[in-house]
Amino acid sequence: MPRFKNIPSQAVRVPPNASAVSDVSLWPITVWSDVSVAGREVGKDAERLNALILNYQKPLRIFLLGQFRAFPEITKNADELLQGFATDKILSEGWLKKANRQKGRFRNFLRTSLKNYVLDWSKKARLPTIPLGELEDQGIEPVAPETPSNDFDLSWTQSVLAETLEKMENDCKAPSRDQPRRSQIWELFRLRLLDPIFKQTKPVPYGKLVEGLGLKSPSEGTNMLLTAKRMFKRHLNDTIAEYEGSEKAAESELVALAERISQLAEQA
Amino acid sequence: MKKSYASEVVFLSTPEQISQLLHLDEKKPEPWREEELRDMVRHQMSASLEFDLSSVHVNEPESKIISKSFIFAAQSEMRTFDDLFRNPNPPVELLRLSQRFFKQKVKESPKDSAEHKCSYLFYLLSIVVARIRCNINICRLTDEEQLHAINSMMKRFWVVDDRIRELLGDCQKRISKL
């Protein structure tokens, strides 16, 4: 872990530019190959843990950058910190068992664990800790508690959805599948549901769908769209179950995510 | 490397957009537009009889009769619902099968959905054609109920196909004369 240079006693004020915090393209993506090596040593959960790290690195980075935006010595070491968190915590034996579902959501456990890891690290690195009162006296606004949480929850849900849609698309397009119409299921889902939601396009008209996808009858179109929705739901549940650990926990987490996102939508 | 759809759009999405996807309900009907319902009717008319009707569950004795009806239909160049409904001698067993198929679709579809409306029209057409071509009433609806259903369909803005309106009109006259 890099040693810190002495920093001025007054914390540097980070410009309150939210886009700089959320814009992950400003930050290099961590190379996780050595994380994978460490993960393999853990045992049977390594693959699942590795997938978890890869899929959710984005929201974790967003959280870290948001939570500690007033501390550039932390934010400039974000990648190393995340990598260290992965190897020292996530991939350490027994860490997953500490996630107590009675006490709250897994993603919140992950977030709290990362925060504590960074705080421990900053103590060891002897970063000055500045009480909130002093920050205010110096005219430095502390990070609003809601902002990192909002960014994290949104990014986390985006990661879940991205993983879900990738799985669904790959499932539909897998050449090993027997059903010849399976790739059309993805196309119908994309044209009729996804593009209108994410790209603000008008849904492709029924007549054009018939022509483009070679639908043999209205019932075929209806069945394909229904199949698409069911596939989406199944992959969504599976994706969440990968980090929640069980189907039942996944159902509860899905409800919680949907409620949280609805709240964020209302606030916007 | 080509970006996946997910990586292209999801990470730029807003909470409103994500919310729509998370609340996707497979039971909720698609909001098809008016002109789309007309396209759906047109599509159903040109749909293959065998493709749709072969999905109806039938018992062993029925299956032999229906197989023969399909063979007769193919030989008489009745391949689509349009062919079936316009033929002067349609096999009544195929009309019954068509009635069952669309009745099932009506039950399965969310009420007031485009699928529901389209399926109901074709359920009715199966009954209408059996009456005017075969002189057989293949359903339990009374004459009054059938007339009411026909009158209701004739008023629908999306029932514009001349062939369909002619069939409904013929049956309307036939029942009214009784």
Q: State pLDDT tens for residues A165-213.
A: 999 999 998 876 666 688 899 999 999 999 999 999 988 999 999 999 9
The answer to whether A218 contacts B40, with C-beta atoms less than 8 Å apart, is: yes
Q: Residue A120 corresponds to which tokens in the numbers above?
A: 């421990």
Domain boundaries, chain A: 18-143, 156-267
User: Higher-confidence residue: A88 or A127?
Assistant: A88
The answer to whether A192 contacts B30, with C-beta atoms less than 8 Å apart, is: yes
CB proximity B28 to A under 8 Å:
no
Judge whether residue A132 has pLDDT over 60.
Answer: no
Mean pLDDT of chain A, nearest integer: 76
% chain A with pLDDT above 90: 36
Nearest to B10 among A165, A226, A233 (CB): A165
Go through A13-37 and write b for each residue having 16 or more CB atoms within 10 A of its CB, e for each that does not: ebeeeeeebbebeebeebebeebbe
Distances (CA, A) of B72 to B46, B49, B77, B127, B138: 19, 13, 9, 20, 20
Q: Which residue has the tokens 């948001």?
A: A66
* CA atoms of B156 and B125, how far apart (whole Å): 14
The answer to whether A163 contacts B6, with C-beta atoms less than 8 Å apart, is: yes
Q: Residue A55 corresponds to which tokens in the numbers above?
A: 């899929």
Taking residue A101's Cβ as centre, other Cβ atoms within 10 Å add up to 15
pLDDT in tens, chain B (178 residues): 456 788 789 989 999 999 999 998 877 766 677 678 999 999 999 999 999 999 998 888 888 888 899 999 999 999 999 999 999 999 999 999 999 999 999 998 888 888 899 999 999 999 999 999 999 999 999 999 999 999 999 999 999 999 999 999 999 999 988 7
* CA atoms of A63 and A68, how far apart (whole Å): 8
Band (A130; pLDDT cuts 50, 70, 90) = low
Q: What is the pLDDT of residues A137-172, one digit of tens each?
A: 555 554 444 455 788 899 999 999 999 999 999 999
Spell out which residues of chain A touch residue B38, defining contact as CB-CB under 8 Å.
none
SS3 B80: strand
CB proximity B22 to A under 8 Å:
yes
Residues 75-94 of B with CB under 8 A from A: none
* CA atoms of B128 and B168, how far apart (whole Å): 7
Among chain B residues, the shortest Cα distance to A168 is held by B6
Q: In angstroms, what separates the C-alpha of A183 from chain B's closest C-alpha? A: 14
CB proximity A249 to B under 8 Å:
no
% chain A with pLDDT above 70: 69
Burial of B165 from C-beta contacts in 10 A (0-12 / 13-18 / 19+): middle
Q: What are phi and psi of A39, to 5 degrees?
A: -65, -40
Torsion angle, CA of B103/B108/B110/B116, rounded to 10 degrees?
Answer: -30
- What ipTM did this prediction achieve? 0.88
Q: What is the pLDDT of residues A212-266, one digit of tens each?
A: 999 999 999 988 988 999 999 999 999 998 888 788 888 999 999 999 999 999 9
Q: Report CA Rg, chain A.
A: 22
